[in-house]
Amino acid sequence: MKEQSTLVDPFFRHHDYLRISVTDRCNLKCRYCVPDGMHHCQPEKNILSYEEIEQIVKVGAELGVRKIRLTGGEPLLRKNLPVLVEKLHSIPGIEDIALTTNGIYLHKYASELKRAGLNRVNISLDTLDPATFSYITRGGTLKDVLDSLEASLAVGFAPIKINTVLMKDINEADIERLIELAIDAPLHVRFIEYMPIGHAGDLWDSKYVSLDTVRLKAKKFGTLQPYGKVKNNGPAEQFTFAGAKGSIGFIHPISSHFCDSCNRLRLTSDGRLKPCLYWQDEVDLRPVLDDPYEMKKRFYQAVRRKPQQHEMAQLLKSGIPTTRMMSQIGG
């Protein structure tokens, strides 16, 4: 039987998954991630080095962390990212390394990342219309992402997941075309509800779309069938259609939160453990990077402070929501 993590929170959830933001910088300014269009980045001296990240992951692995996801900002803005992947791949106990990327540069580095030990990728793709893509990302080029999808299939990343954030009156018209991607290729398209992270609730609420919209449009392609074969599927409810090569998923933190099964901690690019994406609470690891014993204590401190749920959709909060934008947290 697989050994369980010793990182157990007050609600008996075992944490074996660490999401690591390697940078808070990004080459895009997606409207749901950077609402005001301005990146508020840390000075470079505050960003963890690869050696510091390696130290933290070694301690996490001793406590039962088995899965790593590298995020940003855009992680491929960090120079020599395959070097970090190789370092993490060699740590005893680490079984799976994934990458979340906007896909603009992935086609250039896919082969090198695969050789270094990267297992799988999540690629952000909110539309298949070039003009809408440019609008959402504030200047990105859709072709770069499509090239990265092809490169990911070619090198054998598996599974390949596509993350689509729905926004009212912006990309709803693309739902059917994105579903077709999952029918025609072994891709796993996950539709994600827009979350109120790091910006005013009114701005978020005006663009929120329930995933019931996707379910209605999916009827065009047949009956949704449960699909349980996507590795490390996390909070997504996954479905497929008869004859489809891939699947579609629903991640609905607003209409139906997935907190009961949450098994993740987040490490920000400036060295703080976040027990929950939504709340302000963080535990600073930087002062104890050279002391594995003290670092373990702070890992335990983080899981002890983890709330039962994020309360994103509730008007009355039991804590203080984060003021960091999604690009600063690592998603």
Counting residues of the chain whose pLDDT is more than 70, the rounded percentage is 86
Q: Is 261 helix (H, G, I), strand (E, B) or coil?
A: helix
Residues 6+ apart with CB under 8 A from 12: none
Give the pLDDT confidence of 104-143 residue by residue, as tens digits. Answer: 999 999 999 999 999 999 999 999 999 999 999 999 999 9
User: Which CB contacts under 8 angstroms, 24+ apart, belong to 203-210?
Assistant: 203/35, 206/168, 207/32, 207/167, 207/168, 207/169, 207/170, 208/168, 208/254, 209/166, 209/167, 209/168, 209/172, 210/252, 210/254, 210/255
Going from N- to C-terminal start, the domains of the chain cover 17-329
Distance between CA atoms of residues 133 and 140, nearest Å: 7
Is 329's pLDDT higher than 80?
Answer: no
Instruction: Please give the pLDDT value at position 33.
Output: 83
- Token pair, residue 62, equals 């001793």
For 229-282, the pLDDT digits (tens) are 666 656 678 999 999 999 999 987 665 556 788 899 999 999 999 998 767 789
What is this structure's pTM?
A: 0.91
Topology (CATH level 3) of domain 17-329: TIM Barrel (3.20.20)
Phi and psi, residue 72, nearest 5°: -140, -140
pLDDT one-digit tens code per residue, 192-242: 988 766 554 556 677 888 899 999 999 999 999 999 766 665 667 899 999
Report pLDDT for 71. 96
The pLDDT assigned to 7 comes to 97
Paired strand residues for 99: 70, 121
